Amino acid sequence: MNRTLLAFLRKELMQTLRDPRMRVILFIMPVVQMTVFGLALSTEVRDIRLRVLREPGDSAMARLEERFYASGWFVPAAGGGETDSDATLYAPPGGFRRAMERGEGDVQLIVDAVNAAKARAIEAYANAILAGFLRSGLGPGEPPPAIDLDVRVLYNPAMESAVFMVPGVMSMILCLVTIVLTSMSFAREREGGTFETIVSAPLHDWEIILGKTLPYILLGLVDAALVITAGVLLFSVPLRGPLWILALSAFVFIITTVSVGTLISTIADSQQQAMLGGFLFLFPAILMSGIMFPVENMPPAIAWVAHLDPLMYFVRLLRNVLLKGGDPWVVGSNLAVLAAMACGAAALAFKRFRQTLN
């Protein structure tokens, strides 16, 4: 490697790391954010607040109510008001048992459906509990269950939300940090007037581009190592695949995001525009990554955007390598797409940079 480039790299690294606040953003925030999101987030619907309206002497209904709480999904609502509960169960008038004997044992369930997905889950749980109740307790002759589905959740048997969330959160944080670092690099030099100094220095175009990207790739890799170590140590996320594949995936992904960030910074006229540009990339990239909602069923008119999202491929890669041990075909295909994106974004950024020189 030549000396000028080395000096340039050192300048960029020093400029980035000299501010102690910057060091916090780079090395502490990612771990803090991962810890918070890993501990807090869960898609599971639990602790549904249930209110049961029944007559005091209705013992059948009381037993059904007990079953709801015993299921682990429902808890008694604290207040008596409608706003304090997620679901309300109304016993049939005249007692549940009597109503069943009449053949009118309909139990009414009123569900707060502001969150449609949650409401659907509540209904499914309630149906299952009622069915189990009818089989075991009151049904004539106690017909045994005809079938029994023995459900096992592979790769994460205890359904720990951290194991679900941490690979996703890792990739979001890596994407965020690298974009945030690079999207201002040229815009900042231009606004500060130092861009001309760099351009007039005895450096080739490619040396400037490398000098502006390599340090951030390096910092991104340090961050990747940091979050992956934290994920494995703090949250006992399994690392079932080979480490070198993980490192290679992170490397390719970081090249992609650093190139995208550099591209944004060559397009933006000011730091404000660079920031909004970074947001414009990050927001869809995070939403379309498949971490927050499923992307498989999107309407085709929209699905193509998800296929342009490097984060989506990286999340798939990371989950497959960490939790499933890295299937050659899945790893290979996703890695190939990411590598193609990295080349494309780097080429675009370089081309755009040369345009700004003229």
Partner 1 sequence: MSLLDWRRTLSISRKEVRHVRRDPFTLALALGLPVLLVTFFGFAIDFEVRDIGLSVHDQDDSRASRQLAEVFSSSGFFRLQKAEDPGRLLRELDSERASAVLVIEPGFGKDAGAGRGASAQLILDGADNTRASAMLGYLPGITAAAQARLLGSAPPQPARLRTRFLYNPELNSRWFVIPGLTVVVVGLLAILLTALTVAREWENGSMELLLSTPVRPLEIILGKLLPYVVLCFLGAGVVYLTARLGFGVPFRGSHLLAVAAGAMFLLACLSWGLLISVATRQQQLAMQLSLISGLLPSLLLSGFVFPIESMPPFFQYFTSILPQKWFMIVARGEFLKGAGVLDLAKPLLALFVMDAVLITAALKRFKRDLEP
Shortest Cβ distance from residue 105 to partner 1 (Å)? 3
Shortest Cβ distance from residue 254 to partner 1 (Å)? 17
Q: Which residues within the stretch 96-115 sit at the binding site for partner 1 (CB under 8 A)?
A: 96, 99-101, 103, 105-115
Q: Please identify which residue in the block is written with the tokens 């960029």.
A: 12
67 sits near partner 1 (criterion: CB under 8 A): no
226 sits near partner 1 (criterion: CB under 8 A): no
Q: What's the CA gap between 257 and 178, in Å, rounded?
A: 6
157 sits near partner 1 (criterion: CB under 8 A): yes
**Pick 204 or 240: Cβ nearer partner 1:** 240
326: left (phi over 0), alpha (psi -120 to 50) or beta: left
Tokens for 343?
Answer: 């080349």
Q: Which residues contact 356 (CB under 8 A, 6 or more apart)?
A: 186, 266
> Positive or negative, the Cα torsion across 344, 346, 351, 356?
positive
Q: With beta carbons less than 8 A apart as the criterion, state whether 320 and 327 touch.
A: yes
Choices 132-140, 245-253, 340-348, 349-357; region in contact with partner 1 by CB under 8 A? 132-140
**Pick 284 or 343: Cβ nearer partner 1:** 284
Shortest Cβ distance from residue 31 to partner 1 (Å)? 13
**Pick 4 or 273: Cβ nearer partner 1:** 273
Q: What are phi and psi of 296, to 5 degrees?
A: -70, -30
3 sits near partner 1 (criterion: CB under 8 A): no
Q: What's the CA gap between 121 and 284, in Å, rounded?
A: 27
Strand order in the sheet with 74-76: 74-76, 48-53, 87-90
Q: Which residues within the stretch 32-61 sit at the binding site for partner 1 (CB under 8 A)?
A: 33, 36-37, 39-47
**Pick 2 or 59: Cβ nearer partner 1:** 59
Q: What are phi and psi of 170, to 5 degrees?
A: -55, -50
236-272 burial, b for 16+ CB within 10 Å, e for fewer?
A: ebebebeeebbebbbbbbbbbbbbbbbbbbbbbeebe
Q: At 163, is the secondary structure helix, strand, or coil?
A: helix
Residues 281-300 as x/- pattern, contact with partner 1 by CB under 8 A: -xxx-xxx-xxxxx-xxxx-
17 sits near partner 1 (criterion: CB under 8 A): no
Choices 15-23, 201-209, 213-221, 341-349; region in contact with partner 1 by CB under 8 A? 15-23
Query: How many Cβ atoms are within 10 Å of 2's Cβ, its own excluded?
Result: 10
Shortest Cβ distance from residue 3 to partner 1 (Å)? 28
Shortest Cβ distance from residue 305 to partner 1 (Å)? 8
Q: Select from 219, 264, 312, 323 the one that contacts partner 1 (CB under 8 A).
A: 323
Q: Which residues within the stretch 158-187 sit at the binding site for partner 1 (CB under 8 A)?
A: 159, 161, 163-165, 167-168, 172-173, 176-177, 180-181, 184
Applying CB under 8 A, the site for partner 1 has a residue count of: 121
138 sits near partner 1 (criterion: CB under 8 A): yes
Shortest Cβ distance from residue 65 to partner 1 (Å)? 14
128 sits near partner 1 (criterion: CB under 8 A): yes
Q: Select from 8, 68, 74, 125 the one that contacts partner 1 (CB under 8 A).
A: 125
Q: What's the CA gap between 35 and 41, in Å, rounded?
A: 10
